[in-house]
Structures are given as structure tokens and as C-alpha cells.
């Protein structure tokens, strides 16, 4: 949806993984600029965001109080949490406005053959 309202996919998370660890989550054309969608991947929720035609993916869990961010608002690259209004940059997961202190987990993203593919990042 172009208005940034949330969309969820209740798929099972049983998705094929290619040789370099990427998993196709959604057709790129199905997610308009400014839209985001929560998708299941390996028993967790990933929030895929289209920021002016570039795709990013973050954990769909606020680092402050563990609520789904898919119910929040995406404006440009800034994702606002629906509960207390904390803000994150979906490009790197960094906190842009409190109360959250910890960044969101992020995922490697690529578009291949018209599909948005996501691979979990190793975090230290």
C-alpha cells in the first residue's frame, strides 16, 4: 500500500532458501514505494520496507517494548513505532528518536527476478 499502512502475510515461513542464504519473500511489484509488509521468515517476523524504490528489511519487533512495528508508520526511511513513537532508520536499524535505545536487527536484501529476497545478517 502506498500510504505506508501495514500489511501482513501469514505465510508459514516454509520458504525455499537458495545457495547463498537468500529467501524470496515477496514480489517487488507488490510493495509500492512508501509501503511495508510484515512477513514470516524462519519463525520470526521481518518487516520489508520500500523506501523510494529501494528495499530494506528489519525485525518486526520494537526494541523498546517488543511490539510489532508493522502497525507503525513509514515516512521516507524512518519507521515510527505505534506504541510510544520511537523512531528507527530502516536502512541500518539505528534509533533516531527515543524511547528505544537499541537498534533493530537488519537483514541483507536484494531484488532478483522481480522478487525481494532477504538473508539474515550475522550480528555481533
Nearer to ligand FES, 23 or 63 (CB): 63
Number of residues that bind ligand FES (CB under 6 A): 10
d(CA 22, CA 32) in angstroms, rounded, equals 21
Nearer to ligand FES, 11 or 97 (CB): 97
- Nearest distance from residue 69's CB to ligand FES, in Å? 7
CB 57 within 8 A of CB 22: no
Q: Per rule CB under 6 A, is residue 45 in the interface with ligand FES?
A: no
Backbone angles phi, psi at 33, to 5 degrees: -55, 135
Grid cell for residue 102: 537499541
Nearer to ligand FES, 58 or 81 (CB): 81
CA-to-CA dists, residue 25 to 47, 64, 84, 97, 107, angstroms: 10, 26, 29, 29, 12
Closest CA relative to residue 50, chosen from 5, 9, 95, 14 = 5
Rule CB under 6 A: choose which of 41, 100, 104, 107 binds ligand FES.
Answer: 100
Q: Per rule CB under 6 A, is residue 67 in the interface with ligand FES?
A: yes
Please report, as ranges, the residues that interact with ligand FES according to CB under 6 A: 62, 64-65, 67, 81, 83-84, 86, 99-100
Amino acid at each position: 500500500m502506498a500510504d505506508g499502512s501495514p500489511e501482513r502475510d501469514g505465510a508459514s515461513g516454509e520458504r525455499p532458501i537458495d545457495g547463498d542464504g537468500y529467501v524470496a519473500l515477496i514480489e517487488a511489484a507488490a510493495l509500492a514505494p512508501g509501503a511495508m509488509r510484515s512477513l514470516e521468515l524462519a519463525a520470526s517476523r521481518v518487516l520489508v520496507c520500500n523506501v523510494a524504490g529501494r528495499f530494506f528489511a528489519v525485525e518486526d519487533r520494537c526494541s523498546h517494548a517488543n511490539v510489532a512495528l508493522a502497525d507503525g508508520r513509514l515516512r521516507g526511511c524512518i519507521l515510527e513505532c505505534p506504541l510510544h513513537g520511537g523512531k528507527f532508520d530502516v536502512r541500518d536499524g539505528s534509533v533516531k528518536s527515543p524511547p528505544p535505545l537499541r537498534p533493530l536487527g537488519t537483514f541483507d536484501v536484494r531484488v532478483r527476478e522481480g522478487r525481494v529476497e532477504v538473508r539474515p545478517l550475522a550480528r555481533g
